[in-house]
Structure 1
């Protein structure tokens, strides 16, 4: 298994655009190495770690949304 991934490969793994992956790299949210020609590579373990972290954040946000919706009575049966 290849230890590094290109930006398009990372984008496919995360189901986002390559442009968004570059934004993650520039914002310091995803570690990457740059070659002399400016192309980025990402360690597979870093891409996987980011994917798992994003998945956890998404699940947490969805749980919070469900909790707030239930407290607001959105799911109560209408008479």
Structure 2
């Protein structure tokens, strides 16, 4: 069974705006099919895959931020 989601439903998963989801679709970063009424339908498996990729990117960015902050001494002992 191939369930589909609306743009608004997809936007909730990675906590982004519906406009950003449409941009992802237009940029080819998220697969979707166009409906006759001009809306998009996204397969739930594709939406979940995008959510997981976004989560991994976020974790990687946070690790890098922590590393750079530690190297810069931001977390040094305060007097």
The gaps in structure 2 that reach 5 residues or longer are none
* Larger CA deviation: 55-64 vs 23-32: 23-32
1:35 counterpart = 2:35: yes
1:48-79 CA-partner distances (Å, limit 9, x unpaired):
00000000000000000000000111111134
Give, in whole Å, the separation in 2 of the partners of 1:9 and 1:52: 16
Where in structure 1 are there 5+ consecutive unaligned residues?
A: none
Question: What is the match of residue 51 of structure 1?
Answer: 51
Aligned length: 79
SS of the residue 2:31 aligns to: coil
Q: TM-score, normalised by structure 2?
A: 0.91
Displaced runs of 4 or more, over 4 A: none
User: What secondary structure sits across from 1:14 in the alignment?
Assistant: coil
TM-score norm. by structure 1 comes to 0.91
